[in-house]
Chain A
Amino acid sequence: MKKYKILPHTADVRLKIEGTTLEELFEAGLQGMNDIIKKEKVKVKNDGGEFKSVEVVKKINLSATDTTSLLIDFLSEALTYSQEERAVFTKVLFSDLDEKNIAAEIYGQTVDDFGEDIKAVTYHEANVVKNNRGNWETVIIFDI
């Protein structure tokens, strides 16, 4: 099951994510965000050469006042690393995750180019709650 869905918004991109555990929810957020920024097709370079992608691993350690802030701050930090390293992150391993703290490693690949420029992960409309299926869910709006 795909744990995220990209929805339209007037000036931005809205992502709906769901997970049976907080780990799943955070991973869905990371994968959804990176689905937005990655380029649809891999471009062949002008000189005909192929872009050599390398693996990138980054540590994220954060604490926040609540789970919603923790999720947004986690995704913001991952986005920052995407921009700094020119990489797309798709996997996350948690060594610690509770409602206010996270310690994790994110894994990704460097990319030749991005498909979309996310300026920021916003707190707007984000609210991590348990839905009637007993799963964690929230909407996240990205400023693009």
Chain B
Amino acid sequence: MNKQNLIKITDYLWEIPKSYRADMKVPARVFASEKMLEELFRDRSMEQLINVTALPGIQKAAYAMPDAHEGYGFPIGGVAATSYPNGAISPGGIGYDINCGVRLLKSELNFEDVKNNLEKLAGELFSEIPSGVGRGGKIKLDGKKLGEVLNNGAEWAVKEGYGNKDDLNHIESDGKIENADAGAVSDHAKKRGRDQLGTLGAGNHFIEVGKVEEVFDGQIAESFGLRKNQTTVLIHTGSRGLGHQVATDYIRIMNKAMSKYKITVPDRELVCVPFSSPEGQKYFSAMAAAANFAWANRQLITWLVRKIWAKIFDGSKLSILYDVAHNIAKIEEHYTRTNTDNIQREPASSQYKSVLIVHRKGATRAFPGQPVIIPGSMGTASYVLVGTDKAMEESFGSTCHGAGRQMSRHQAKRMITVDRLKNNLKKENIIVKAGSIRGLVEEAPEAYKNIHDVVDIVDKAGIAKKVARLKPLVVIKG
């Protein structure tokens, strides 16, 4: 597999045709610049994308976003849609951190209003919001309460007083997937989640206070309630140990059940069953429950952030711009093509609509007019984009999810010194509070692809348009 196997469709969209490998059911498509393609061939993400094209019931094409990198089974930064209800559902197409996602809060205050209190704000956010490896929170849930969280997501949190009703209008799926069933979540998973609600976790999860540094589309920015120099708070976390355990449980179940449905996959992490099968239905109910847990988690963290913000800034309020999941499967209606061999683009009207199971792993929903939040690597920049009609035509209403890792954690630790990282952040006037220095170096910007390049590609390809860029002021990490 190399660049010669790719057909150029546009400057930012490439295709590996179905003829490349006998088991491909649809082509593989990659959103990238020519320069970025070189990077994509450095790891096994392209081979993994081709494996995805062999999934039972896959429609149209398997997609890789410009931030794609090697995952396990699916590449991270991948989108795959299968036919409903008999196509495959694959936990590997969602990831272990179910509904890992981002939420952006917007403030009434500008940078000038907060600049003298940033050190204090950083200190309080770090001490009040539990973060770090396996760290538990202040809220301990009994079995009944946890069941309510799993079934009702952010709606539960709002009902309990951790937010207001309007918050739910600014969350993907209103912060609750309806078919969630706490009964499909194992006792192990529940035990791991019991004390993790309202906790950030470790790894690449963070809270980032920022300011709007540049506005690209004034009209849309205004409709989003964003303006230059306005302060924002970005929350990046997921379903914690509960979601990891749900994924582990069902990958094991499907590994055993797959032969019953005569499914074979080139990589065990791609295990899947028909969505309509008992195992598929149960996984989807458990995944939805874990997704709800993640939305309740981000809602609780929002509540904590709002309390601290109001305390420091004299009762000032934070409202939610939007909350998006970037590791999830959704039942959605999309246009599909009758002839998948035809690589010529057709207008949406000449296609027909069908119900699909859309897997987004390290990819963000980007429906027309919807805010899309893209967190950058630590200390660089984050972006607000808007979903487009073109995303509906080209990528099942999906776009990128972040910068995408390009250096192993080990390599990052070897190549980046703590002092250099701290100096660079200081030069940029970014305050960092982190539980682990080791964790900090692993997440250094050099370990990631350039966020500006990634966002430029999706903007030029039209599968989301740039609205605003955010500059980090404070970063809180586990």
Is the CB–CB distance between B69 and A10 below 8 Å?
Answer: yes
Q: A113–B408 Cα gap in the complex (Å)?
A: 24
Residues of A within 8 A of B70 (CB): 10-11
Residues of B within 8 A of A69 (CB): 252, 255, 268
Q: Knowing A11-B408, A123-B269 touch, does A86 contact B134 (C-beta < 8 A)?
A: yes
Pick the most buried of A13, A37, A65, A119: most chain B CB atoms within 10 A of its CB.
Answer: A119
Task: Tell which of A68, A117, A121 touches B202, judged by Cβ atoms closer than 8 Å.
Answer: A117
Is the CB–CB distance between B255 and A144 below 8 Å?
Answer: no
User: Is residue B97 within 8 Å, beta carbon to beta carbon, of the partner chain?
Assistant: yes
A46 CB to nearest chain B CB (Å)? 12
Q: Knowing A114-B133, A126-B268 touch, does A11 contact B192 (C-beta < 8 A)?
A: no
Interfacial residues of chain A within 68-96, with CB under 8 A of chain B in the complex:
68-69, 73, 76, 80, 83-84, 86
Name A9's closest neighbour in chain B (CB-CB). Answer: B408
The proximity string for A residues 5-40 relative to B, scoring 1 for CB distances below 8 Å and 0 otherwise, is 001111111000000000000000000000001000
Name B97's closest neighbour in chain A (CB-CB). Answer: A119
Interface size on A, residues (CB 8 A): 34
Is the CB–CB distance between A124 and B248 below 8 Å?
Answer: no
User: Is residue A103 within 8 Å, beta carbon to beta carbon, of the partner chain?
Assistant: no
Q: A10–B96 Cα gap in the complex (Å)?
A: 16
Name A76's closest neighbour in chain B (CB-CB). Answer: B248
Name A62's closest neighbour in chain B (CB-CB). Answer: B252
B474 CB to nearest chain A CB (Å)? 22
Is the CB–CB distance between B408 and A119 below 8 Å?
Answer: no
Residues of A within 8 A of B244 (CB): 119-120, 143
User: Is residue B338 within 8 Å, beta carbon to beta carbon, of the partner chain?
Assistant: no
Q: A141–B132 Cα gap in the complex (Å)?
A: 22
Residues of B within 8 A of A117 (CB): 133-134, 201-203
Name B269's closest neighbour in chain A (CB-CB). Answer: A124
Task: Tell which of B69, B132, B256, B269 touches A11, judged by Cβ atoms closer than 8 Å.
Answer: B69
Q: A16–B405 Cα gap in the complex (Å)?
A: 22
Task: Tell which of B71, B241, B256 touches A65, judged by Cβ atoms closer than 8 Å.
Answer: B256
User: Is residue A101 within 8 Å, beta carbon to beta carbon, of the partner chain?
Assistant: no
Q: A11–B44 Cα gap in the complex (Å)?
A: 12
User: Is residue B373 within 8 Å, beta carbon to beta carbon, of the partner chain?
Assistant: no
Residues of A within 8 A of B311 (CB): none
User: Is residue B41 within 8 Å, beta carbon to beta carbon, of the partner chain?
Assistant: no
Residues of A within 8 A of B71 (CB): 11
Pick the most buried of B72, B241, B255, B409: most chain A CB atoms within 10 A of its CB.
Answer: B72
Task: Tell which of B203, B251, B252, B409 touches A8, judged by Cβ atoms closer than 8 Å.
Answer: B409
Q: A84–B255 Cα gap in the complex (Å)?
A: 24
Name B410's closest neighbour in chain A (CB-CB). Answer: A8
Interfacial residues of chain B within 241-262, with CB under 8 A of chain A in the complex:
241, 244-245, 247-248, 251-252, 255-256, 259
Interface size on B, residues (CB 8 A): 41
User: Is residue B445 within 8 Å, beta carbon to beta carbon, of the partner chain?
Assistant: no
B206 CB to nearest chain A CB (Å)? 14
Is the CB–CB distance between A10 and B43 below 8 Å?
Answer: yes
Residues of A within 8 A of B96 (CB): 119-120, 122, 143
Q: A68–B267 Cα gap in the complex (Å)?
A: 13
Is the CB–CB distance between A122 and B269 below 8 Å?
Answer: yes
Name A40's closest neighbour in chain B (CB-CB). Answer: B438
User: Is residue A116 within 8 Å, beta carbon to beta carbon, of the partner chain?
Assistant: yes
Residues of B within 8 A of A76 (CB): 248, 252
The proximity string for B residues 180-224 relative to A, scoring 1 for CB distances below 8 Å and 0 otherwise, is 000000001001100000000111000000000000000000000
User: Is residue B285 within 8 Å, beta carbon to beta carbon, of the partner chain?
Assistant: no
Residues of A within 8 A of B125 (CB): none
Q: A115–B132 Cα gap in the complex (Å)?
A: 9
User: Is residue B76 within 8 Å, beta carbon to beta carbon, of the partner chain?
Assistant: yes
Interface residues of B (CB under 8 A from A): 43, 69-73, 76, 96-97, 132-134, 188, 191-192, 201-203, 241, 244-245, 247-248, 251-252, 255-256, 259, 267-269, 271, 405-411, 436, 438
**6 closest A-B pairs (Cβ-Cβ)?**
A124-B72, A8-B410, A123-B268, A8-B408, A117-B133, A114-B133
CB-defined A-B contacts under 8 Å, sample of 20: A7-B410, A8-B409, A9-B408, A10-B405, A10-B407, A12-B72, A68-B268, A73-B252, A76-B248, A80-B188, A80-B192, A83-B241, A113-B132, A114-B133, A116-B202, A117-B201, A119-B97, A119-B244, A122-B72, A144-B409
Interface residues of A (CB under 8 A from B): 7-13, 37, 64-65, 68-69, 73, 76, 80, 83-84, 86, 113-117, 119-126, 141, 143-144
Q: A12-B72, A64-B255, A83-B245 are in contact. List 16 more A-B contacts (CB 8 A).
A: A8-B411, A9-B410, A10-B406, A80-B192, A113-B133, A113-B134, A114-B133, A114-B134, A115-B436, A116-B133, A116-B202, A117-B202, A119-B96, A120-B96, A121-B248, A126-B268
